[in-house]
């Protein structure tokens, strides 16, 4: 099973959005089921108040239960033990989370 959630926006040749604050962090889908010992890379979409994608922003990743789901600083999750955990992506005071269910 794979899920790729993209962080996107204007590239280096596009207009700069560095002064625009993050209004929303979006992780889709809102639930992931992953067999134990499997890994998956998540990415978050950061948008401004107008819904325009922002790039080049730091994202902090955390897990509500690191015994069940481990998360690395770049958004790679590892299903460690059967159960579930909320994985949260936050940037500039805004956040979203996804429920990760670990199966046998």
Instruction: Quote the pLDDT of residue 1.
Output: 42
Give the pair of three-digit tokens for residue 2: 């794979």
- What torsion do the CA atoms of 69, 101, 76, 16 make, to the nearest 10 degrees? -120
pLDDT at 96 over 60: yes
Which tens digits make up the pLDDT trace of 3-21?
434 443 333 334 446 789 9
On the question of pLDDT at 102 being above 60, the answer is yes
Instruction: Tell me if residue 38 falls in helix, strand or coil.
Output: coil
Name the region of 80 (left: φ>0; alpha: ψ -120 to 50; beta: rest): alpha
pTM of the model: 0.81
For residues 28-57, give the mean pLDDT.
Answer: 93
* CATH dotted code for 24-103: 2.60.40.1080
């Amino acid at each position: 099973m794979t899920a790729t959630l993209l962080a996107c926006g204007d590239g280096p040749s596009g207009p700069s959005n560095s002064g625009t604050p993050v209004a929303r962090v979006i992780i889709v889908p809102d639930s992931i089921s992953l067999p134990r010992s499997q890994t998956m890379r998540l990415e978050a979409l950061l948008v401004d108040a107008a819904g325009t994608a922002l790039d080049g922003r730091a994202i902090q990743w955390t897990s509500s239960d690191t015994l069940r789901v481990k998360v690395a600083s770049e958004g790679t999750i590892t299903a460690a033990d059967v159960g579930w955990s909320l994985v949260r992506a936050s940037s500039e005071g805004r956040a979203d989370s996804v429920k990760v269910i670990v199966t046998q």
